[in-house]
Homo-oligomer: A and B are copies of this chain.
Amino acid sequence: MSTSQPERAVARTQVIMQSTLALAQESGYAKLSIEAVAARAGVGKHTIYRRWPSKGLLFLDSLLSLNEPVLDFPDTGDVLADLRQQTYAAVDLLANPPWGPLYQSLVGEAQHDPAVAAGLSERFIRPQTDRTVARLKSAQDQGQVAPDFDLDLVMAILSGPLYFRLLITQEPMTHDYVDRIFEALFAGLSPRG
């Protein structure tokens, strides 16, 4: 049975993205090049450049094609327990290969390439933020979160401490770290009244 042209195009895209991730894992993102991806995928480099104008944008598509970062919330009825589980899942992803180190490289590249930063923000962070805010809004409606808590800040406040470890101090991220952050955030910094 012969494959159609669109099927071959989809298959070729998959091979290019798999080659990109394989090379990034083997040699590190810094040494990744479109030439090397083309050689590994068995395509001409212009085939890649026609669709991806930069190594960073190719890497962004390849990483998001893994489909792992969906990070859906569990739904147990206890929204705060669900939020904690979802944060555990984020930490498990960020703290381990292959996804963690690849994502770290992507954020690194976003600092040098505004198109990568925009894609990361719109295609990965924005949908995650929308889901998190919707879930916290539901917690707020049920009286589990302070009624005046500024929900627009929720991603910055909950995931900021994770990114601080991942990107700045590069200390290990664990479930225990998540528990300590949750405890501090829910208690607040103010002296108890």
Chain A interface (Cβ < 8 Å from any Cβ of B)? 28-30, 104-105, 107-113, 117, 120-121, 125, 143-150, 153, 155-157, 159-165, 167-170, 180-181, 183-192
Contact = CB atoms under 8 A, between A and B. Distances in A.
10 contacts: A105-B112, A149-B187, A150-B184, A153-B180, A153-B184, A157-B157, A157-B185, A163-B168, A167-B167, A188-B189
A75 to B, nearest CB: 20
Contacts of A161: 153, 156-157, 160
A104 B111 contact: yes
Given A185-B188, A187-B146, A112 B157 contact: no
Contacts of A185: 157, 185, 188-189
A110 B146 contact: no
B170 A30 contact: no
Contacts of A113: 30
A98 to B, nearest CB: 15
